[in-house]
Amino acid sequence: MNQKQKKDIRNMLTSEMTFGEPLAKHTTFGIGGPAACMVFPESREELSTLLTYASEKNISAIFIGSGSNVLVCDKGFDGIVISLKKSFKNISIKKNSMIIVEAGVMLGTMVKQAMAAEIGGLESLIGVPGTVGGALIMNAGAFGSEISKYFEEAKTMTLEGNIKSYTRGEIEFSYRHSTFPNNEILLDATFKCKKGKPHQILQDRKIASDGRKSNQPLKFRSAGSIFKNPSDTLAAGYLIDKAGLKGTKKGGAAISEKHANFIVNMDNATAADVLHLIKLAKKYVIKKFNINLELEVKLIGFPQSMTQGVYYA
């Protein structure tokens, strides 16, 4: 981005924005270089204005929620980073157990409010990090439940600033995937839920919380699971463990001793450190099991030369 473009954006919006903002401050990994421009749109109108301008000027624009499923290059991102987490935070729970929620609401917040309203089914997602928007797009799940199970409808905004609507039948969901277009940003979603039994809700929440505490390296910063599980019966962490990589370190990053599908930031790790371990895990698992692990985290700002061997065998 050039200085004129930055000035244009500053003058056309009243939303909170920063320039040269370290993305390490906005990711759960605590890793990432500066964004040329980072904007927290205060309304749909401001978001539309920003996206229309970016489209007209061919400026790259990306969306991050709470930064829980991303790895940002150490050199940062020369474009506009948009986050809805500060303003798109309305949530409404209806008497018929319908939940209408904006994309910037944290998933944990929605789950807690649903539980307080004695709505069952979402409690296993209580510890899944991220915003509702990010969770729905990647079909987040845990302990046998996926958020798509309750999805009813959603609104998105295109990169040209136009609003589109989708119903349940128009979106396909699979393991950690949905068919929401990559070039649209989720604005809000409606979930159709059911009343649950309070004691069962609390029991299911405890099972999920205990399982997460015992199995995941929650003491260190991470992006969550690095790879998708190859199948329902074969876990990525198991394969990485059996390839002998648990505890392997590179700089300040390490493949977790507790769960091999987590790479943790132990001591000022760089994105290059993490990327090295990602490539190592893929290489060893392919060699030992002939399985090409697929990334679950999104890579942002990396030149193609650095991602050779990450997406493909």
Q: How far apart are the C-alpha atoms of 234 and 73, rounded to whole Å?
A: 30
Catalytic residue among 15, 87, 148, 176: 176
CATH architecture of residue range(s) 91-200: 2-Layer Sandwich (3.30)
How far the first Cα of the chain sits from its last, in Å, is 34
Q: Please name every residue paired with 61 in a beta bridge, in sequence order, or none if there are none.
A: 80
Cα–Cα distance, 54 to 160 (Å, whole number): 8
Considering 83, 97, 145, 225, which one is annotated as catalytic?
225
The position carrying tokens 């029991």 is 203
Could you say which of 3.90.1310.10, 1.10.760.10, 3.90.78.10, 3.40.50.12280 is the CATH number of the domain covering 217-301? 3.90.78.10
The yes-or-no answer to whether 3-82 and 217-301 have a common fold is: no
Where along the chain do its domains lie?
A: 3-82, 91-200, 217-301
What is the pLDDT tens value at each position of the chain, 313 positions in all? 999 999 999 999 999 999 999 999 999 999 999 999 999 999 999 999 999 999 999 999 999 988 989 999 999 999 999 999 899 999 999 999 999 999 999 999 999 999 999 999 898 888 888 899 999 999 988 777 799 999 999 999 998 899 999 999 999 999 889 999 988 999 999 999 999 888 988 888 888 888 888 888 889 999 999 999 999 899 999 999 999 999 999 999 999 999 999 999 999 999 999 999 999 999 999 999 999 999 999 999 999 999 987 865 4
Is 225 catalytic? The answer is yes
Which residue in 21, 123, 146, 296 is the catalytic one?
Answer: 296
Query: For domain 3-82, which architecture applies?
Result: 2-Layer Sandwich (3.30)
176 part of the active site: yes
